[in-house]
Structure 1
Amino acid sequence: MHKLVSLMTCAWLACGSAAAADPVRHEKVELAQGGPLKKLSGKIKGDESVEYHMAVPAGGALSLKLKTANRSANFNVSAEGAEEALFVGSRDGDHITVAAPAGAVYNVSVYLMRNAARRNEQASYVLEAVASAPPTPR
């Protein structure tokens, strides 16, 4: 019986430490259409990343811009539940505006590219986010 309790305790501790070692921090961000610019600041190091879950009101557009001194820091944007990113910062740049037709939740992941993560580099960043009315066609 004592061995079983010891084994279960070790398994419980191992599961707890694995969850604590998760390098992804999750944060929810609520944006009001036409609301003020939100400046989300943080610091990432090595393989750490921050995933922001941003709810955008129906008919709005999400505008994002990443400001950082580390050229290996980027962000990706994907619609919640989508299999592919609709924006890849390392390929597409440091800013995006995307329409949210019927309201949507976007996942925005701020991370260091693999080369910098392996060197355990760090980056401070500011991610500017605003929900505005969608652009009108010309």
Structure 2
Amino acid sequence: MLKSISFLLLIFFFTMNVNAQDLSKHQWKDRLILIITEEKTEKFQQQITELQKHQQGLKERKLVVYKILPEKYSTGFQEENWKSSTELYGKYKVKNSDFRVMLIGLDGGEKLEQTEVLSIEKLFNTIDSMPMRQAEMRKNR
């Protein structure tokens, strides 16, 4: 009986972890932009449009875009690659706001957060002033 319960618990936790999205896989490889919203609002659409216009700049800065809604998330700009999950929304949703955008650095730390649309200028200036980005730019000259 105890073995059966242990086995069922093991299966349950394994299944939960398979569906959970772990952002730490990006650490030291990618910077992340998290766009967290309750629904596809006007701010959400404006933020996506602002980022889409500058995809080369995003690529140069090793940025991966996460779109996060209460029941699902997706990376990039494609509309069809949504995955079911409530974990990211639960972790990054801020109270008293239906929209939040965050920048997570290569080290996994939060570098910028706001509840208004983030301009590409502010985003790129924030990243370009970071020591690791400065080193990347010197290396790529």
Q: What TM-score, normalized to structure 2?
A: 0.37
- Give 1 or 2 for the bigger CA radius of gyration: 1
Say which structure is richer in helix.
2
Say which structure is richer in strand.
1
